[in-house]
Each structure stands twice: as C-alpha cells, then as structure tokens.
Amino acid sequence: MYSNHSAPKIGVFYDGNFLLHASNYYNYIHPQRRRLSVNGLHDFICQRVAEEEGIDPKRCRVCEAHYFRGRLNAADAAQRGSQLYHDRVFDDILMSEGVHTHYLPLRNIYGRKEERGTDVWLSLEVFEMALLGKIDVAVLVVADTDYVPLVRKLIAMGVRVMLISWEFEYTNDDGTRIVTKTSHELLSLAHYPVPMQEVIDCGLKQNNQLILNLFVQTSDSRQGMENEDRREDEDYTRSRSDEAAAERTPGARYTSQILSLKNGYGFIKYPNNNLFFHSLDVIDGEFGELSPGDEVEFSIDKNDQGQDVAKQVKRLEADDAAPKSDDSFWNNL
C-alpha cells in the first residue's frame, strides 16, 4: 500500500467527554485503578494501525491529534475547588503529547450546564484535514451516532477510519446505573473497529506491555502530577471531612445553595468538597422543582465509602432563605 519511504498519516480525534468517562471508569471502577495515558494510547494506536495496514510499526506516527470538549468558564470553575488547576494540569499533559485542544463554553440549558457544538466542530476539523490530504487514517475516539455522516464521508474520500470504542456498565455509589456504549452503526462502518474493553482486559491477563502502558504509570512523573495532586486533595478533603464530622451536632440542619443539577442528582455548595445529593433525598417538594442557585436546607450523612453527602434536602422559600446564625454551615466548620 505504501512505498518504501512513505507511511500513513495518522490523525487522532478525541471526544473529550467520552475519553473522560472511559478514564474515570478505569480509575474508579475497574480493578486497574489507574487513569488512561494519552502517550500510551498513541503508542497503542500506532501499533494497531501498523497491524491493520501491514507495515512496520516504527513507520507509524501520529501526525495530528485534536481534543474537543465543552468547558466551564473561569467564574464557574472557580466555584469548584481546584477545578481550574486540574484543567491546567490536563492541558499540560495534552500539550506535551502534541494534542491540540478545542474548547467551547458549556451552555446554560434550562438551568443546567450542557455541552453543545463540540461534535460539529470535531467533524469539521476531521473533514477539513481529510480534504487537504493531511490524514490517511482517521482515528476517532467517539461514541455517538451523530458521527455516522462524518464516517461515511471519510469512507467516500478514501480515508480509512479506526474507531476506538468502549462499552461498560456499572452502578455508582447512589445506585444509579451508568451505561456507556458506542454506536453500533459506527462500529459497523469503521474499517478498523477496536473494542477497547476486550482488548484491555485480554492484554492485562497476558501482562502485555503495550496494554499496561495504556495506563498512567506510577513512575511517570509527567502524567503522575495529576494523580499525585488528586491524592493530596483527597487526603486533605478526607481529613477535613473527618474533623468537620466530629464537630457536627447529631441531627443538625445546614443551609446553602444548589451548585448544579444533573439527571437525577445534584450538588450543593459546601466546603471543602461540594455535597452530592440524590433526587430521592429531596423532601417537601420535587427534585424537578429545584434550580441552580436555590437556597436549600439539608442534613449531612456518610455514604458507603465514608464520603459526606446531603440528605433530606428541602428547598427554602424566599422568606425562609435568610442566613441563620445558628445553623448556617459556615458556623459549623
């Protein structure tokens, strides 16, 4: 397929949310308990492309890499502890691997922060590079059916498509079933579909070094920054949480504001780590009646992992929402 001096031009394109979900799964749920390594993933991609294209792996290089994701603005991120710092650390990791970052601000949709437009931006970037002849193989780390038209167009243009896919299910701490699946239509269209969950599990059993390198190594100081910082934050938060718990009065009620709401759960502003609450923990009202910024009253309990969570969450009316000197959480720190 290639002359002695040519090699396939590989472009890797990440749906940032999809990559984050996969990385979180391996870091928190999977027995591996480590995050995915961008460097290791690129090495794996080069090896896999070489196998599929029948060439020497040494001739394969990622010539283009792009990462797309919606992101909180600085003001919103500043309300989430060290979110800005973690974003910067991950940007440093991507930059060191030659990955170009593309961010769009999260949009406020009916009181919720949601990602809009990143799939279109990713598709346009891939199409432009294919049109200009900058890539021969497009490696898509995506899952949504929305990318089907892009894949069909790439195939018509003669660009080979590798699809990095994951499918996993698990139940989180609050009993919610989390499901991540890749579009079967995408899988059927791609020239080289790669079922990562099967490849990884099989490779780990065989102690395959290429698969082991897909995860952040403890000796990798560059990518280890993120894990080290996370451990320090978790140690501090756990310590501060234990101290605060010891100081709390049993049955005490606290007041604060709703920080954000998701599908069936939300977070309440509370130092040093915002409190999770489930829709079933809302009393004297419905979860659907809550909005970010609402004043709420709540109690604090521990989940099965020993983390603080909000319970018996009650929305306060305007007349009831004034600061209370005896039960405001600021006075219970």
- In tens, the pLDDT along 264-298 reads 788 898 876 688 888 888 998 888 889 888 999 99
| Average pLDDT rounded to a whole number, residues 176-182 | 81
pLDDT at 7: 87
- The domains of the chain, with CATH numbers, are 9-229 (3.40.50.1010), 248-332 (2.40.50.140)
Tell me whether strands 61-71 and 9-15 are parallel, antiparallel or unpaired.
parallel
pTM of the model: 0.66
Contacts with 106 (C-beta within 8 Å, 6 or more apart), sequence order: 70, 71, 72, 73, 76, 113, 114, 115
Question: What would you report as the CA-atom Rg of the chain, rounded to the nearest whole angstrom?
Answer: 23
State the number of CA atoms in the 13 A half-sphere of 236 facing the CB.
11
Instruction: Dump pLDDT digits (tens) for 197-241.
Output: 999 999 999 999 999 999 998 644 344 434 444 444 444 344 444
3-state secondary structure at position 68: strand
Q: For residue 233, what pLDDT is reported?
A: 41
pLDDT of residue 247: 52
130-157 mean pLDDT: 97
17 vs 138 pLDDT, higher one: 138
Rounded Cα–Cα distance for residues 308 and 212 (Å): 34
81: left (phi over 0), alpha (psi -120 to 50) or beta: left
Assign 2 to helix, strand or coil: coil
The average pLDDT across 104-126 equals 88
Mean pLDDT over the full length of the chain = 83
| Confidence bin at 82 (pLDDT 50/70/90) | confident
Give the pLDDT of residue 330: 36
Q: Tokens at residue 142, please?
A: 């995506």
The predicted pLDDT at position 285 comes to: 84
Structural contact between residues 125 and 132, judged by C-beta atoms closer than 8 angstroms: no
pLDDT of 316 > 60? The answer is: yes
Q: Which amino acid is at 314?
A: K
What pLDDT sits at residue 320? 55
Mean pLDDT, rounded, for 104-133: 90
Residue 272 CB neighbours (<10 A):
15
Kindly indicate the confidence band of residue 319, based on its pLDDT and cuts at 50, 70 and 90: low
Percent of the residues in the chain that have a pLDDT greater than 70, as a whole number: 81
Give the ranges where 102-161 is alpha helix by DSSP (H). 118-131, 148-156
Comparing 258 with 231, the larger pLDDT belongs to 258
pLDDT at 171: 72
Question: What pLDDT is recorded for position 236?
Answer: 38
Distance CA 11, CA 294 (A): 45
Q: Percent of the chain having pLDDT more than 90?
A: 50
Residue found under tokens 């899988």:
187
pLDDT at residue 250, rounded to an integer: 66
Burial state string for 187-208 with b = 16 or more CB within 10 A and e = fewer than 16: bebbbbbbbbbebbeebbeeee
> What is the structure's pLDDT at 226?
42
Does pLDDT of 52 surpass 70? yes
Q: Which of 25-39, 163-177, 184-198, 218-232 has the lowest mean pLDDT?
A: 218-232
Residue whose entry in the numeric block shows the structure tokens 């994951």: 166
- Pick the range with the lowest mean pLDDT from 10-24, 131-145, 175-189: 175-189
pLDDT band at residue 263 under the 50/70/90 scheme: confident
